[in-house]
Structure 1
Amino acid sequence: MKRAVVFGMITLSLSACSQIKNTNQISKNKKVTVVEKKKVVYQVFTRLFGNQNTTNKPWGTIEGNGVGKFNDFTDKALTEIKNLGVTHIWYTGVPHHALVNDYTSIGISNDDPEVVKGRAGSPYAVKDYYNVNPDLAVNPAKRLEEFEALIARTHKNGLKLLIDIVPNHIARKYEGKNNPKGVRDFGADDNTSVEYARDNNFYYIPGQAFQVPTSANYKPLNGEKNPLIDGKFDENPAKWTGNGSRLAKPDFNDWYETIKVNYGVRPDGSKDFPELPTGFDTKSYKEHFEFWKDKSVPSSWVKFRDIALYWTAKGIDGFRYDMAEMVPYEFWSYMNSAIKMKNPNAFLLAEVYNPNEYRNYIHLGKMDYLYDKVATYDYLKDVIQGKKLPDGLSDIQKSMADIEHHMLHFLDNHDEQRLASPEFAGTPEKGKPLMVVSTTLSSSPTMIYFGQEVGEAGNENGGFGTRSRTSIFDYVGVPNHQRWMNGGKFDGGQLSESEKNLRDFYKRLLNFSLKSDALMGEFQEIQSVNRAETEGYDSGIYSFVRWSDNEKLLVVANFSWVTKSNFDLKIPSDVIAKWNLKDGSYPLKDQLYGSKATLKVENGVGVVKVSIGVSESFVFKI
């Protein structure tokens, strides 16, 4: 039997907002002064965002199922995204990646469907880093100009933008046809007679040719005829596959559409490059940059640094790095410090899933933010599915107290099951308390995935991509998002009332988070005292406090989707003392929906009568 759970949030503000400085750690008795506010990232899968076609035929063509364009991000669309409470937009799938479409008329070679996943192709099999996906342009020959116009339009509308860089692997048929003068292509200078050399861009399997992987249950393009589908792909000698497979014929479940990039890590795992001296975890990016200036580094380091600087010079405000932990953190020190020298405010986000390496990639690799998936995301998913009590969230915050600001929170992205899908929360409403906790638990940025704010459940079968995740491999439409898009009006005109209400909830919550000082301040759980002493404090309830010098927040979560809860929430004496509250009553007003409550302090202990409906949230302020 699944455990029932409900949520609510209460906020106290003791004076007008002021700016404070983030301490990045759980508070004891220290006060904090902060200069930073929350950031909110809106991830869009670029080729899907503007697609108005609702056909959604499995394995459908670009003509049949449609595709979104750069130009679909109109001033109106970008204004509405910003007004949702967004500071950064991550345009996913921008660099030119392998796909099954004929662009030979503009000098692009056709890709072999046997080494492309789906028809539209994976955005993480990049074919040319110095240009963009031709599918996304109204005039593919002028695709770069169209993207440059989008960069300018994004900035004009008050948003910063990120794109992907995928350093660990590239498409099997990489062709740098747009390299700047003097830039040599990946592998052009490799010694292919050996498995490894420091300045080879790839690892090789000498004496063996690549063999296309096979599966009894899969045919490229679902069995459609194509002149390039012949069971062969010309690669001799074979290269290691992107996920590290050293087989000339990788398994079908390997990242067979990609080849692994060599960063000077020998096949036995030892490092063939200078290592950072002891103590560099406390050094600034400028000191890291100075360290590398006179060092000889592997060829792949230079190539990817130059790619990042190329896009930085075009106005890109930051990058999301795919599978960053598969590349040594010394390289990240080298590249990220170079980026920061050009743009000190660059937003550098990395996909890292190994908690033992978090601090290396933050402090030594100079990453700004990492995914908080393995801890907070996974735990919240287990809570809403009734597999765990929420109490463990306190342990997560304590374990990452020194780096919590760097651990970006999300509940939905292109890799994960949609929050509203039956495989995750089950309904958009059940996801609401998770969203409030994810947004308010730490000072880290918050990220949402387009369509999440209108309850997109990822029900479509794109072909190669499976349901519960909006496909990143196929040409598909995104139904809930399309209703918000409303034929390009971007006014939500086709949304149901429940979808409108859900988007309104996201808008209220995210905009509140952007203004809140306390969310950049201190954290303390009040879970244990209420679990031990509060009558009616259900097993699914979770509570904590956040505060700055000028704003105090009380967060209460009960993740039940079936049970209303009524209890007297206790605010322990140490919190009341830290907040400098005297005995008395403090009227509270909900900042999301306007309801009222009262905090009563007696003998130095606070009590708030809480009455919360299923999946409900409150943000109260004095």
Structure 2
Amino acid sequence: MAIQCKGMLVVLDIKKTNHLHTVKCAAENAAHTPIKSVNKSSAVKKLTVVALSLGLLSCIAYSQSGADLMENENANHPRTQIPPNSGKPVVYQVFTRLFGNTNTTNKPWGTIEENGVGKFSDFTPQALQSIKALGTTHIWYTGVPHHALATSYLEYGIDDDDPDVIKGRAGSPYAVKDYYNVNPDLADNPANRLHEFEALIQRTHQHGMKVVIDIVPNHVARRYQSFSPRHDNFGANDDKSQEYARDNNFYYIPNTPFVLPEGVADTVLGGKATEKNQHQLVDGKFDEFPAKWTGNGSRASQPDINDWYETVKINYGVRPDGTHDFPELPEAYRDKSVQEHAAFWADKSLPDSWYKFRDIAIYWLDKGVDGFRFDMAEMVPVAFWSFLNSAIKQRNPDAFLLAEVYQPDKYRDYIQLGKMDYLYDKVGFYDTLKTIMKGEGKVSELVSVHDEVSDISTHMLHFLENHDEQRIASPEFAGGAEKGKPALAVSALISASPILLYFGQDLGEDGSEEAGFGDPSRTSIFDYIGVPAHQRFMNGGKFDAGQSSSEEKALHNFYKETMGIVATNPAVTGKYESLHALNLAADGTAYTEMQFAFMREKNEHGIVVIANFSTESTGPITLTIPISSLQKNTTELTLEPLLTHKGITFNLSGSNYTATLSLNGLETRVFAF
């Protein structure tokens, strides 16, 4: 939910119920109010700050950092150079646990044996080629870092997690318990799980795509327990007698035990007595003394059931009253380079958590990971992001850095001061587009919100689905995947920013499975489940749509055509010009608030897009384009089609070019000039 908070200091108390975010603002000096939340915590060891000159920063030799953990192994994995496409970045998000699962049982709260699970090895050459065919440049492998889960791996030397603080059977991927290893569910041989993921990184690179994984700096699992021999666990050196200390990794409620939320017992493993007997740790309590602040900022020793009770908040040197215990980044650094940002932090003494997460990022970069999606980045101080992202860019200047931020008034801070490459354009673009897809909004509103971020539009990633959002085809959203077709064309082609696709989106997956924890309409991120439309496309590993319906095949082909333009046409990185107001004001045309026309142009390449959000056929439309936009002097201008439709001829009419056409319901046409 979008929020507008006035004043210099803002307090966030964020609750994420299933996948939804609700946000409350309060003055930071209000008594007993959570500070700017830190939603997922992590712990590792304290490092001595090493003063580095600007020259030395280019190679960042961090003492005892993730950079040298796997020195010998990393030497065998040089970074693959992947040539850029001629269009713009396309991020394909896979929920790694679900992608390759062929099991169709789909029993609510089913075990891994009952419902199955996908593996790293399911990303075969055929699978990766099918992803690449959608114009993909980056695969975001969601759920890779080892998180808390109910399945036991004791035989592999991994301690069991307590289901009383786990959501679902498979657990939330945003309750990370070990940042130096990967989810054992995803490996054919859990003892070899890290090497299996390294092999997937290499396969992805060989298919011309880059690898993105999650880092969740705001919070970690209730019991973080890394087995990395060179890193202390988060909180290992904390002074637990203090609510706050700068170098504590967590916030504490001294002398007070943690108590499970009221009613949580009804959700543990489905709340069934027979299920409870299957796990020795299900006893309605969790041993934590003293209690820690919960991931969304709750300071109660017994959090609410809608809090992120399975996680604890990381301390970045933000005192309980909201003031900062670290140097402020000067405003002048908005315009400075990442090298200058790195130099600024080099001689500073900083909170321990800053160094722990820096080492985590460097560790994964050295394994070949090409970038990160940062969960709930707005709950972590902007100054920390300057520190972390400048360190990442010194290691890999091309690293892809995407952040989840939902406060429009903070966008420029996270981009300019925090040095993020990209932010979600949810609150403005996605939320407005969603109303249009549901038949409740106007295209003029979409044009307006897009204009509001025109100065940073190249940094605002677009999407129609991701793991937090409802599936387009779900009854709770649009009720049919076809309604996403004009929205895809608009969101993908309107800006030079990246576009994100969620696996199964191109097949009309509706998210209707009753998986266990949480409600349908979103594909579950908490339980073992199959994804039916995607499974039909997989066709037992052939990835040839062999079991897909004709409707699913047609939708997939539309996605491939549209994303082909995104990946190959240079115009998508060029100048944007809305044609909406001009056509809306024209006389004698059927063009309405349910159609959207715009242009993109770069050098000799240009496209004209017209999308019909109405389910009804529309026409005749007199499509109007200013002469100055096309920079032509001919009386007749023919444009070629880029999707499956006919070309179009424009005729000179006064100071404009005009052409007449009719559109089918939900049809989009894209023309090249």
Q: CA deviation at 1:522?
A: 1.1
> How far did 1:457 drift?
0.6
Q: Distance in 2 between matches of 1:505 and 1:558?
A: 15
Q: Distance in 2 between matches of 1:545 and 1:475?
A: 44
Partner of 2:649: helix, strand, or coil? strand
- The one-letter code matched in structure 2 to 1:364 is L
Post-superposition shift, 1:53?
A: 0.1
Please tell me whether the aligned partners of residues 69 and 137 of structure 1 are also in contact (alpha carbons under 8 angstroms).
yes
CA contact (8 A) 2:608 2:672 kept: no
Q: Normalising by the residue count of structure 2, what TM-score does the alignment of the two structures yield?
A: 0.85
Q: Distance in 1 between matches of 2:339 and 2:85?
A: 21
Of 335, 339, 356 in structure 1, the residue corresponding to residue 388 of structure 2 is 335
Deviation of 1:258 (Å): 0.1
- Name the SS of the counterpart of 2:669 in structure 1: coil
TM-score (norm 1): 0.92
Q: Aligned residue for 1:156?
A: 206
Counterparts in 2 of 1:85-234, with a 5 A limit?
A: 85-179=135-229, 181=230, 183-215=231-263, 218-222=266-270, 223=272, 224-225=275-276, 226-234=279-287
Matched, 1:554 2:602: no
Counterpart selection for 2:534 from 453, 470, 481: 481
Q: Closer, same or farther in 2 for the Cα pair 1:430/1:278, shift >3 Å?
A: closer
Q: Secondary structure at the match of 2:484?
A: helix
SS at match of 2:194: helix
Question: More displaced, 60-69 or 593-602?
Answer: 593-602
* 1:354-401 residue CA offsets vs partner (Å, 9 max, x unmatched): 001100000100000000000110001111112211111121122101
1:595 aligned partner: 646
The whole-number CA distance in structure 2 between the counterparts of 1:531 and 1:217 is 56
Once residues 184 and 337 of structure 1 are traced to their aligned partners in structure 2, the CA distance between those partners, rounded to angstroms, is 24
Q: Secondary structure at the match of 2:501?
A: strand
Q: Distance in 1 between matches of 2:362 and 2:327?
A: 22
Question: What residue is the counterpart of 2:622 in the other structure?
Answer: 568
Deviation at 1:276, TM superposition (A): 1.0
Aligned residue type for 1:171: A
State yes or no: 1:60 paired with 2:107.
no
Cα offset for 1:278?
2.6
Q: Deviations over 1:533-565 (max 9, x none)?
A: 242222312222221221222222221012333
Q: Which moved more, 1:225-234 or 1:411-420?
A: 225-234
Structure 1 residue 594: Cα displacement: 4.4
Deviation per CA, 1:410-462: give whole Å up to 9, x if none: 00000100012122221111110010011011110000000001110101010
* Matched AA of 1:424: F
Alignment of 1:571-586 (within 5 A): 571-572=625-626, 576-586=627-637
CA distance in 2, matches of 1:188, 1:556: 58
Corresponding position of 1:323: 376
Q: What is the rounded CA distance, in whole Å, between the counterparts of 2:235 and 2:482 in structure 1?
A: 50
CA distance in 2, matches of 1:244, 1:599: 58
What SS is found at the alignment partner of 1:232? coil
- Give the structure 1 partner of residue 543 of structure 2: 490
Q: Distance in 2 between matches of 1:111 and 1:502?
A: 41
Aligned-residue CA RMSD (Å): 1.4
What pairs with 1:85-484 in structure 2 (closer than 5 Å)? 85-179=135-229, 181=230, 183-215=231-263, 218-222=266-270, 223=272, 224-225=275-276, 226-484=279-537
Tell me by how many angstroms 1:283 deviates. 0.5
- Superposed CA offset, 1:93-126 (max 9, x none): 0000000011111111111111000000000000
**1:495-524, CA deviations, whole angstroms, 9 ceiling, x for partnerless residues?**
111111111111111011111222111112
Residue identity in the other structure for 2:633: K
1:163-194 CA-partner distances (Å, limit 9, x unpaired) = 00000000001101124x2x221001101001
1:454/1:480 contact within 8 Å kept? yes
The amino acid of 1:234's aligned partner reads: D
Give SS of 2:592's match.
Answer: coil
The residue matched to 2:262 in structure 1 has which SS? Answer: coil
Is residue 532 from structure 1 mapped to residue 585 from structure 2 by the alignment? Answer: yes
Distance 1:587 1:537 in 2: 21
Partner residue of 1:73? 123
In 2, are the aligned partners of 1:526 and 1:543 still within 8 Å (CA)? yes
Check whether the contact 1:353–1:374 (CA below 8 A) recurs between aligned residues: yes
Distance (Å, rounded) in 2 between the aligned partners of 1:122 and 1:350: 18
- Over residues 80-104 of structure 1, what are the superposed CA-to-partner deviations in whole Å (9 max), with x where a residue is unaligned? 1112211110000000000001111
Aligned residues: 584
- SS of equivalent to 1:519: helix
- The equivalent position to 1:608 in structure 2, one of 659, 665, 668, is 659
Moved more, 246-255 or 535-544: 535-544
Work out whether residues 190 and 199 of structure 1, in 8 Å CA contact, stay in contact via their aligned partners in 2: yes
- Which residue is equivalent to 1:618? 669
**Superposed CA offset, 1:4-37 (max 9, x none):** xxxxxxxxxxxxxxxxxxxxxxxxxxxxxx9973
Alignment check: 8 A CA contact 2:86 2:569 kept: no
Any conservation in 2 of the 1:517–1:550 contact (CA below 8 Å)?
no
Q: Is the 8 A contact 1:170 1:260 kept in 2?
A: yes
Letter in 2 for 1:73: F
- Cα distance 1:324–1:209, how it changes in 2: closer, same or farther (>3 A)? same
Greater CA drift, 527-536 or 90-99: 527-536
With 551-560 and 94-103 compared, the bigger mean Cα shift is at: 551-560
The equivalent of 2:59 in structure 1 is none
Contact 1:117 1:464 in 2 (8 A): yes
**Gapped regions of structure 1 (runs ≥ 5):** 1-33
The whole-number CA distance in structure 1 between the counterparts of 2:224 and 2:191 is: 19
Task: Report if aligned partners of 1:583, 1:602 keep a CA contact under 8 Å in 2.
Answer: no
Aligned to 1:21: none
Partner of residue 96 from structure 2, selected from 42, 46, 49: 46
Looking at structure 1, the residues matched to 104 and 618 of structure 2 have their Cα atoms a distance apart, in angstroms, of 39
Q: CA deviation at 1:79?
A: 1.2
Per the alignment, residue 520 of structure 1 pairs with 573
DSSP 3-state at the match of 1:386: coil
CA distance in 2, matches of 1:200, 1:601: 70
Deviation at 1:227, TM superposition (A): 2.0
* Partners of 1:583 and 1:603 within 8 A in 2: no
- Which structure 1 residue ranges, 4+ long, deviate > 4 Å from structure 2? none
In 2, are the aligned partners of 1:375 and 1:396 still within 8 Å (CA)?
A: yes
Q: Which has the higher contact order (CA 8 A, sep 6+)?
A: 1
SS class of match (1:402): helix
Matched to 1:219, the amino acid is T
Report the 3-state secondary structure (helix = DSSP H, G, I; strand = E; otherwise coil) of the residue aligned with 1:146.
helix
For residues 586 and 414 of structure 2, the distance between their equivalents in structure 1, rounded to whole angstroms, comes to 41
